[in-house]
A = this chain, B = another copy of it.
Amino acid sequence: MSLGEFDLIARYFQWSQGQGPRRAIVPNGDDCAVIAPAAGMQLAVSTDTLVEGRHFLSTVDPARLGHKALAVNLSDLAACGARPLAFTLALTLPRVDQAWLAGFSGGLLALADEHGCELIGGDTTAGPLAIGITVMGEVPAGQALLRSGARPGDELWVSGWPGEARLALEAFRGTLVPPLDGATFDAVRLRMEQPTPRVALGLALRGLASSAIDVSDGLLGDLGHVLRRSGVGAVMALGALPISPWLACCPQAEQHDHVLAGGDDYELLFTAPTSRHAEVLAAGQAAGVPVHRIGRIDAQPGLRVLDGAWASEGPAGQPVSNRWTSFDHFRAG
């Protein structure tokens, strides 16, 4: 790309000063941006790259892609209970396409604006389309939600309706018989292409959840990280899983597959002491997202999935086969 084209690209990523204070003391444009967490705050940092053909299709709406590129990073902050502060953008572009840039930056900066998360630095290069974001947030010292805090007896919760994004993926793949009707397809496609990071829920769970992770690789895979890091096990009841109304079209086994191993959900999976059950429900309500109790942490390592619902004593039913329980072994902690 010529230097003139770089200037053109930079124009699409000027931080809108319309809303809220600037967080950067020295903004985008010097060798470094300079920021400072507030007194008593620590900085939470995460990085994620989306690559065309691997994480998204070339045909995706650029505004949705801009939204998603930041959303998956904000989801990591949410899982730590951190408030978004700032981010950097490394954009690799095959060509300068002004319509695409306008859409992409529009979707990206709208979500940034919504969360008061300032674009403080960037780098643009020519090459195959890829979007790298490093996001920074602040969390009170010692209060970050970690994967390692789950304790035996804690309840296991998940937010929202995992599995919807996977249903959209299957629709794109053409594996659904019958195919989805148009309205359902549009709805689940939006969930896949424009996920909502659960930032408000993450903030509400500070000091309440004992552990948290965001569900990006599938609920069971991500649960595996929590169990290993915490040195505990869990028991879940299939009947306690939240089944999205959009999944009603699938056979029950597929519904469970999508919820437990769908991926790309960006919901929060977290644990909290039983004594704080009502507070967790209230946190979900305050954050505007339903939270579902799906299991219980216990001391015995590994995951046990029961075929019943939630009974007065907890997850009920007979153990199901290893159909899902193998999922929690497939990744190293």
Q: Which residues does A use to contact B, with CB under 8 Å?
A: 3, 6-7, 10, 25-26, 29-37, 41-49, 51, 53-55, 76-77, 79-80, 82, 86, 88-90, 92, 120-123, 125-128, 130, 132, 134, 136-137, 139, 141, 144, 146-148, 212-214, 229, 330-333
Contact = CB atoms under 8 A, between A and B. Distances in A.
A29 B46 CA distance: 10
5 contacts: A36-B141, A54-B126, A90-B90, A121-B134, A130-B130
A77 B6 CA distance: 22
Given A3-B330, A127-B51, A134-B134, A214 B31 contact: yes
B331 A7 contact: yes
Nearest to A217: B3
Given A3-B330, A34-B139, A43-B136, 18 more contacts: A7-B331, A26-B80, A29-B229, A30-B144, A30-B148, A31-B213, A32-B44, A34-B44, A35-B42, A43-B43, A47-B90, A47-B132, A47-B134, A49-B92, A51-B92, A51-B125, A55-B125, A123-B132
Contacts of A120: 45
Contacts of A33: 44-46
With a 10 A CB-CB cut-off, give which of A77, A79, A92, A330 has the most chain B CB atoms.
A92
Contacts of A34: 42-45, 80, 139, 144
Nearest to A120: B45
B43 A36 contact: yes
A77 B45 contact: no
B130 A127 contact: yes
A92 B130 contact: yes
B35 A45 contact: yes
A128 B121 CA distance: 23
> Within the oligomer, what is the number of copies of this chain?
2
Contact of A46 (B31, B47, B80): B31
A29 B29 CA distance: 31
A213 to B, nearest CB: 6
Nearest to A127: B51
Contact of A10 (B3, B45, B332): B332
A147 B45 contact: no
A31 to B, nearest CB: 4
Contacts of A42: 25, 34-36
B123 A31 contact: no
With a 10 A CB-CB cut-off, give which of A29, A47, A330 has the most chain B CB atoms.
A47
Given A36-B141, A54-B125, A134-B88, A146 B30 contact: yes
The 6 A-B residue pairs whose C-beta atoms are closest, nearest first, are: A32-B44, A134-B134, A31-B79, A47-B88, A132-B132, A31-B76
Contacts of A10: 332
Contact of A80 (B30, B44, B146, B331): B30
Contacts of A89: 47
Contacts of A7: 331-332
A229 B146 CA distance: 43
Nearest to A145: B31
